[in-house]
Structure 1
């Protein structure tokens, strides 16, 4: 029996993980696991009232994912904000979805995020937080970036599918929002 391996799709909230992963899983014929749903099912989520957010129990979730991956075969897409929780020995590729912080800010506000959560997530995107976590966990050789700015779900699914097949994807560090915003004179607005 071949062991199951994972394609991890991660990124800041609002970068298109869920819609892009759903489209890519259809295109590639792969099962899709949503980390948020799995965490909820196994009781690995709790509320942080100070930050108005849900937090995971990483040990519990990593253990459950390891068991699920050990009991299967083939390949599965696993998507979620905390993609670095997936056991690293099971990961074939990690795709970090990136969105222009200005677009992300508008998107998160339209979803009804509090100003604090908007600021926190835009800063995380600006500072490459999810990219850094993915590289630390899986190694630079297993990580690619995809700029999702302006992509609809189906087009994003195509980009993800191409990256999984080895045809596309940007090497880590290719997307530099800070440099772009600085060139455009807009960086100070985000550095408060």
Structure 2
């Protein structure tokens, strides 16, 4: 069984995964790279859509031994029997805005990704798919790579259950919901 690191774009998935891979001496299985190699991305407007059913079948064929699996699509292409634990990295959406701007994301793509992080969409989908027993939420805001890797290792060992993250309250208190949600 494998360990999984997921979360919205920009939260530090790939950076932390590289560190965890070294610490556990496990290979990395990158869901996005597999989707690219298999040419499963389809450009629709400004987003890359993926046929998750095809990707799920391909991933199933590639998981033969324990590994570190990384990607924001993990909750949609993996099954519970393939994983031991799934770590959902979170990051303060205010910090993500500058990351997305530096990546050249459009305003619409920034709004979509910030909205997803504020609402905890990937966390919700992960818990729905894998349950609370296998899902661990970690706030990666303002932490060094080393500190984040240390916390993820503690979570993998079962020493950390969950970190409390509630960006919705933060955005609501600052009256910033209207910036990212149409209503």
TM over 0.5: yes
Equivalent pair of 1:159/1:169 in contact (CA under 8 Å):
no
* Candidates 144, 156, 175, aligned match of 2:165: 175
Structure-2 residue corresponding to 1:153: 145
Write the distance in 2 (CA, Å) between the matches of 1:109 and 1:96.
23
Q: Secondary structure at the match of 2:141?
A: coil
> Given the two structures, how large is their TM-score scaled by the length of structure 2?
0.91
Equivalent pair of 1:7/1:91 in contact (CA under 8 Å):
yes
Question: What is the root-mean-square deviation in Å for CA atoms of aligned residues?
Answer: 1.7
1:106 Cα deviation after fit: 1.6
CA deviations 1:118-171 (Å, max 9, x no partner) are: 111000000111001101111121101010111232322222222111122516
> Given the two structures, how large is their TM-score scaled by the length of structure 1?
0.87
Equivalent pair of 2:41/2:49 in contact (CA under 8 Å):
yes
Q: Does 1:113 align with 2:109?
A: no
Structure 2 stretches lacking a partner, 5+ long: none
CA deviations 1:59-109 (Å, max 9, x no partner) are: 11111111222xx23x21110011111122211111111011111112111
Q: Does 1:79 align with 2:75?
A: no
Deviating above 6 A after TM superposition, structure 1's stretches of 4 or more consecutive aligned residues are none
Structure 1 stretches lacking a partner, 5+ long: none
Correspondences of 1:1-16 after superposition (within 5 Å):
5-16=1-12
